[in-house]
Homo-oligomer: A and B are copies of this chain.
């Protein structure tokens, strides 16, 4: 029979994202394109102990659980955020999701009508752009610089488009790795409050900072918009994040935190979407986090030392001749270097050449809703080990060499 798919599916099929991801997933590639943490740093033995304890403890762990997510894990988050992030929310203000992607998707489903304008910090994570397009939103990029979103650009777009939402990642935006200044945080929050624009604050990468600061010091210098808005009492910010980058992606455990009306609505949508995420995995996490043998904050410090080492290695490789006309700013955290290619070099053409040699990266065009970004690429420095980093960067360097030699 002839299928008659909904018109909105055209958005999904028209994107090159799917193809590039499946190409780069092949094992024979060295991929700088993905958003993957380092496998060799996963807390395997802690998780193994947690799984054994949870499964043997009570068959209830294998039953359907609470749609909003395993309560003790939400309680743990609530306590931890109070101590380390100056965020003060109750467990009933937290919804556990299947990663941040689901948190973003649920928000889009309950908040966006076709034709609504959604502002997105630009450049942006490709997966998010499509979520809003699927709901029929008009996605409008708002430019950022090295201090974060530019307030003047934000105000221009607010006045021009009367948007409903702003999507932003003040801590180590994907792809740019920018850490917003305190002043910018204040200005953006004030503008959005004034115009009743809901902010989706994505903190996926917020714990991966490489400066020598304690969690509390870091939080004082760079408070989340959510904390500045009164942790839900201001009602103006939805705070999303996950354990994918700090513990392990396969647990697929993320969250949305916000005011009760917002979380209640998202929880209702979650039940229709999949009834609930794996409460078994949520129990594993809770058991680990409560165990005396595992300290997540020490674990994150270890990750940050290692990722900083990999970033320095990549930065060293970028000093080689092939890259001499590329430009970038060394990020203070996160997982990516956002790099401008030598003049006239197109990222998709370069990708095709690099794939032929066995290395991949994310072309910048995927990070813009409007075709810009062809001169930019995103390089992930957390997943490849030392040898892969050396080889992969050399292969991409070769590809660049071939293009620049021709011109």
Q: Which residues of A contact B (CB under 8 A)?
A: 1-9, 12-13, 18, 25, 34, 36-37, 39-40, 42, 44, 47-48, 51-52, 55-56, 59-66, 97-99, 101-102, 105, 109-113, 127, 130-131, 134, 164, 193, 196, 198, 234-236, 244, 248-252, 261-262, 265, 268-269, 271-281
A248-B62 CB under 8 A given contacts A3-B235, A235-B1, A265-B5: yes
Majority SS of interface residues in chain A? helix
Least CB distance, A60 to chain B, in whole angstroms: 6
Q: Give the nearest-CB partner of A281 in chain B.
A: B278
Determine which of B51, B105, B269 lies in contact with A9 in the assembled complex, contact meaning CB atoms within 8 Å.
Answer: B269
A12-B272 CB under 8 A given contacts A62-B44, A113-B6, A164-B4: yes
Some 15 contacts from A to B, beta carbons below 8 A apart, are A1-B236, A3-B198, A6-B110, A8-B110, A9-B268, A39-B60, A39-B62, A48-B56, A63-B249, A64-B249, A101-B272, A105-B274, A127-B272, A252-B277, A252-B280
Residues of B within 8 A of A281 (CB): 278, 280-281
Residues of B within 8 A of A134 (CB): 109, 269, 272
In the complex, the answer to whether B47 meets A55 with C-beta atoms within 8 Å is: yes
CA distance A209 to B9 in the complex (A): 38
In the complex, the answer to whether B274 meets A252 with C-beta atoms within 8 Å is: yes
Least CB distance, A169 to chain B, in whole angstroms: 17
In the complex, the answer to whether B102 meets A12 with C-beta atoms within 8 Å is: no
Q: Give the nearest-CB partner of A44 in chain B.
A: B59
Determine which of B4, B37, B63, B198 lies in contact with A39 in the assembled complex, contact meaning CB atoms within 8 Å.
Answer: B63
Q: Give the nearest-CB partner of A276 in chain B.
A: B252
Least CB distance, A265 to chain B, in whole angstroms: 6
Q: Give the nearest-CB partner of A236 in chain B.
A: B1
